[in-house]
Chains A and B, each alone.
Chain A
């Protein structure tokens, strides 16, 4: 069962945007999204496009799927990326051999048939 798209992120991703929740008061990008900005406590939050660039903080190759729907993807690489806007996001990374500190480009992609941002080496 799919959770309600409370924050509108899935709608933005389905439209092909690389976007995350952004505070309209202090411009902080936060992820996962919430109802209150953790930086300034404003409740004025919107989904905004990001530059789509970041730095890889860590990568891990998953060898065993947590759910059957991901089994065909094994092994796959998940990375934690710090966006240039400051927020940390978790994405599937294309390719292997990723090392900490590498630049990552975020693009519109999909996992399990669902549109989500994914990461690739910068071109």
Chain B
């Protein structure tokens, strides 16, 4: 059990994203630099002031230390730096680690960055490459990553008598949000029928229920709150929580019984640190690698009762025009890969800088969640306007 006195004292000053143009021939470092420079500019800090750097890993390029390559590309020599690998939860966890670093005083101004060029320069079939990183006792039978999620989805449908329409409505909702986002990869509206008519990747999941594989780059600037004077619309990291339940789905029977993931635990830790409850959260950006991920996490976070997330989604409960907007940029299902963009989107919406898809009311609080592996590694951030 965690120590109830655990605290993070950290504020996000700004965020940046790399432009996603699939025709471009760019390295992961190129994308990371573009996002970093955009974040520093958005935050209004001098690049030379950055003395902490935490980055995610690249699937497409080998680096002895991605953060070292990025630091050199940026011409900085931070006193604290690291490259972390936590699968899909990496993006959210770079922000947790940056927040811990500034809270602990090992640096004052940290950049948290994750970028990869999974579309413009893939080393191979990316879906196959990812599937090959499951345990050998899984890969020997030939599952896709989608298959492992599909098995959990099938269990969910059986347990709650939920329907393929419940799952499909997640993709439809996020596409609606993407239609307003000039930077989303897919913007044409789709219907539940379109989703269910798309090919099945691994039953019951259709291709339109699987995250896109795109280039991405996102970064945020994290500082100690005492340095916040003069900042425009800073965003406070109120709480953070992580949890790790398994690598192989076979080691976590709850996925096939109660359907609860370790996301419930990471969110509880984040709320405990923040002093908030689910009802205090005004908006959320939730890792949406597959439609099923969103339904299960909404229930883990108490935003819907067990088995009730489909009804919430079908009723427009995640819509940008409603009381609880979720994945306002279109998410990984329609906008772009990379869990870091859930962070940058939350920050941009809270600061009123989301451009054409800016919400009418800037959310006072946001929950940001990263999910890694097959619902095994979970990272929750709770953000609040300073």
Q: Which residues of A contact B (CB under 8 A)?
A: 3, 9, 30-33, 38, 57-67, 70, 73, 76, 78-80, 82, 87-92, 100-101, 111-112, 114, 116
Q: Do A80 and B151 touch across chains, with their CB atoms under 8 A apart?
A: yes
Count how many pairs of residues, one from A and one from B, have CB atoms less than 8 Å apart in the complex. 109
CA separation between A92 and B37, bound complex, in Å? 49
Residue pair B135, A73 in contact (C-beta under 8 Å) = no
Pairwise interchain contact B141-A66, C-beta atoms closer than 8 A: no
Q: Which residues of A are found within 8 Å of B158, using beta-carbon distances?
A: 58, 100-101
Q: By the criterion CB–CB under 8 Å, are A90 and B143 in contact?
A: yes
Closest CB in chain B relative to A94 CB, distance in Å: 13
CB under 8 Å from chain A, chain B span 18-77: none
B142 touches A70 (CB 8 A): yes
Q: B250–A89 contact, CB under 8 A? A: yes
Contacts of B191 on A, CB cut-off 8 Å? none
| One of A3, A33, A63, A78 near B143 (C-beta < 8 A) | A78
Q: Which residue of A lies closest to B127 (CB)?
A: A66
**Across-interface contacts of B140 in A (CB, < 8 A):** 111-112, 114, 116
Chain B residues whose C-beta falls within 8 Å of the C-beta of A31 in the assembled complex: 137, 248, 250-251
Identify which of B131, B137, B200 contacts A32 (C-beta below 8 A): B137
- Report if A59-B144 is in contact (Cβ < 8 Å); known contacts: A66-B128, A80-B249, A80-B250: no
Residues of chain B with a CB closer than 8 A to A79's CB: 151
- A–B Cβ pairs within 8 angstroms, 6 of them: A62-B142, A78-B143, A88-B250, A91-B141, A92-B142, A116-B140
Q: How large is the interface on B (under 10, 10 to 19, 20 to 34, 35 or more residues)?
A: 20 to 34
Q: CB-nearest residue of chain A relative to B206? A: A63
Interface centre among A9, A62, A82, by most B CB within 10 Å? A62
Known contacts A70-B142, A88-B253, A89-B250; A62/B147 CB under 8 A = yes
Kindly state whether residue B154 has any CB partner on chain A within 8 Å.
yes
Q: Given A63-B203, A80-B256, answer yes or no on A32-B144 (Cβ-Cβ < 8 Å).
A: no
Residues in A neighbouring B138, C-beta threshold 8 A: 32, 90
Chain B min CB distance to A9 (Å) = 8
Interface string of B148-159 (1 = CB under 8 A from A): 001110110010
Bound: A67/B204 CA distance, A: 20
B266 to chain A, nearest CB (A): 20
Segment 166-206 of B: residues with Cβ below 8 Å from A: 199-204
CB proximity to A under 8 Å, residues B110-156: 127-128, 131-132, 135-145, 147, 150-152, 154-155
Given contacts A58-B256, A62-B202, contact A100 B144 (CB under 8 A): no
CA distance A79 to B143 in the complex (A): 10
| Inter-subunit contact B132/A82 (CB<8 Å) | no
Cβ A66 vs Cβ B137 within 8 A: no
| Other-chain contact of B142, A32, A58, A78 (Cβ < 8 Å) | A78
In the complex, are the beta carbons of B131 and A66 less than 8 A apart? Answer: yes
A78 touches B250 (CB 8 A): no
Question: Do residues A58 and B151 form an inter-chain contact, with CB atoms below 8 A?
Answer: yes
Q: Quick one: which of B128, B152, B251 contacts A38, CB cutoff 8 A?
A: B251
Collect the chain B residues with CB atoms within 8 Å of residue A3's CB: 136
Distance between Cα atoms of A57 and B153 in the complex (Å): 11
**B141 engages A92 (CB within 8 Å):** yes
Q: Which residues of A contact B147 (CB under 8 A)?
A: 60, 62, 78
User: Given A58-B151, A58-B155, A67-B128, is A111 in contact with B142 using a C-beta cutoff of 8 Å?
Assistant: yes
Neighbouring B residues of A33 by C-beta, 8 Å:
137
Closest Cβ neighbor of A89 among chain B residues: B250
B152 near A58 with CB under 8 A, answer: yes
B142 and A66 contact, CB distance less than 8 A: yes
